[in-house]
Structure 1
């Protein structure tokens, strides 16, 4: 009996290891495909009263991913938040997978049917190429593309300014963020204004100096792997312990919101960092 018991132990060990491997694989798959809706309520002293309670759905970094057939799960999560506006912050498709015909239009139609959709480019749009054509296709499907320019938003009789800049990977002679900010001040004095800018890692040393009340960014993928007591383990530039990877920050009198994004680039995967549909509700103090 003792010898028979010893012979069974390797089999038992293999079964335990196989079960652990299966559970790990299922968890990683769930961690990369199960949408998480998160809520944030930043408070601003200069926010016009008409925008108190204004709800923004903030999305970024799909990288050609799908949540449900034709992204219906993504659209349902965005619609359930009942947003006033939807902001999409770049990297709609992925350089390494390549664009899929009709994908960009499908996403633009689905989101713009829920609420006014504003879009800015990320680094992958420029790496893939054909950005002017992409912008035209998105606009034909209901998106408003902000290309180093600004627009006025109205709500309950008040207005704010929304600006959007192309990724730094764009044309070498494109209008700079500083020029866009100067144009806003020249046109509107000192308004409450928001800036859509793909790259979270440009905030501290550049975007926070422009004077925007709120900057909204993606790009960081939440630090790819998130562990307790960290702001993300790994940046998309492959540096350790990056900052400004998820949630709300403040620097130089400017607030920053960073979404963890939705998809993965190339062979990367998320860990303890589910795809995020961020709901940002603006509050006036």
Structure 2
């Protein structure tokens, strides 16, 4: 004898099914649809010739692809019209195809010059061969190093640091900035994977920092923000967006890849566009 669902329960069951379908659709969308977020960052220290410089930031890809041969990623970067592309760590990890980094960078280089710093996951395996291969295709791999960008007789510093998971004997952040300041007092754009280093860069008067690492908190809720955050971010909650303290601004990307275990929710993979503005 078949047992039917009581009529009083049917509306509740229908509602639950609808809610489940909405959550499932939102979860899928949150993991497959790239979004682009644009910020304008103002500074009276930025030379006028660099006003309007467009920096596309890609962070925490973790070897992920969007579309066939990553075509959707490249299309989104092209649409952002970058002057330079900044890769702020975790481009690849211990599970990534060894050729991914070079293949991805080779395509990005067709769009704009590429500057890269390591994240924590690259160091799960010895990444030095990959770094070397990236340099061979003309990626600027910044390992506690910097370059001077020049335009119309004016200049800024583009610098980048290894992740703390890198070599134990790397130069300290303080000594690195002192090294830069011994050569120039120009505006500094720093690439640094970990958002938790914000206060260090504030103390060192670095003008602008591009970071990632936090994946936006992975699971986000409206009005609450990221739920799954690193211990270092628990108090600050600096897991996505822009943060300013003193003369220092940090841009934290939500990242363009997954974390491998927990799906993103209400937190689409993100391409960041930073437009520099001179006051």
Q: Same fold (TM over 0.5)?
A: yes
Residues 220 and 235 in structure 1, CA contact (< 8 A), matched pair in contact too: yes
Whether 1:180 and 2:176 are equivalent positions in the alignment is: yes
Question: How much does 1:251 deviate?
Answer: 2.0
Q: CA RMSD in A?
A: 2.3
**1:16–1:254 Cα change, 3 Å:** closer
Q: Secondary structure in 2 aligned to 1:163? A: strand
Give the secondary-structure state (helix, strand or coil) at the position aligned to 1:264.
Answer: coil
Corresponding residue for residue 105 of structure 2: 108
Distance 2:225 2:201 in 1: 20
Greater Cα offset, 153-162 or 16-25: 16-25
The residue aligned with 1:198 is: 193
Structure 2 partner of 1:120 = 117
**How far apart, CA to CA, are the structure 2 residues paired with 1:185 and 1:7?**
75
Matched, 1:224 2:218: yes
Moved more, 53-62 or 177-186: 177-186
Which stretches in structure 1 are left out of the alignment for 5+ residues? none
Are 2:141 and 1:159 equivalent residues in the alignment? Answer: no
1:281 aligns with 2:275: yes
Q: 2:129 aligns with which of 130, 133, 138?
A: 133
SS at match of 1:162: strand
Question: 1:211 and 1:40 mapped to 2: Cα distance?
Answer: 21
Question: 2:261 & 2:5 partners in 1: Cα distance?
Answer: 41
- Secondary structure at the aligned position of 1:203 is classed as helix
Aligned to 2:211, the other structure's residue is in SS state strand
1:70 match: 69
> Are 1:208 and 1:252, in contact at CA under 8 Å, matched by a contact in 2?
yes
TM-score w.r.t. the length of structure 2 is 0.91
Match of 1:43 in 2: 42
23 and 152 in structure 1: CA distance in 2 versus 1, 3 angstrom threshold = same
**Cα gap change, 1:87/1:253 in structure 2, threshold over 3 Å: closer, same or farther?**
same
Give the C-alpha shift of residue 9 in structure 1: 7.1
Q: Is the 8 A contact 1:231 1:244 kept in 2?
A: no
Q: Which whole-Å CA distance do the structure 1 matches of 2:165 and 2:87 have between them?
A: 17
Cα distance in 2 for partners of 1:52, 1:231 equals 32
Shift of 1:177: 1.5
Q: TM-score, normalised by structure 1?
A: 0.90
Change (3 A) 1:236 1:67: farther
Aligned CA distance change for structure 1 residues 174 and 15 (closer, same or farther; 3 Å) = same
Is 1:148–1:163's contact at 8 Å kept on the other side of the alignment? yes
Note if contact 1:94-1:266 (Cα within 8 Å) is conserved in structure 2.
Answer: no
Q: Taking structure 1 as reference, are residues 21 and 6 closer, same or farther at Cα in structure 2, changes over 3 Å only? A: closer
CA shift, 1:107, in A, is 1.1
- Kindly indicate whether the alpha-carbon contact (under 8 Å) linking 1:244 and 1:258 is maintained by their aligned counterparts in 2: yes
For the residues of structure 2 that align with 1:187 and 1:277, how far apart are their CA atoms?
A: 33
Moved more, 209-218 or 151-160: 151-160
Deviations 1:108-131 (A, max 9, x none): 11111110000000000012x222
> 2:206, 2:233 → 1: CA distance?
28
Aligned residues: 278
The answer on whether the counterparts of 2:98 and 2:130 sit within 8 Å (CA) in structure 1 is: no
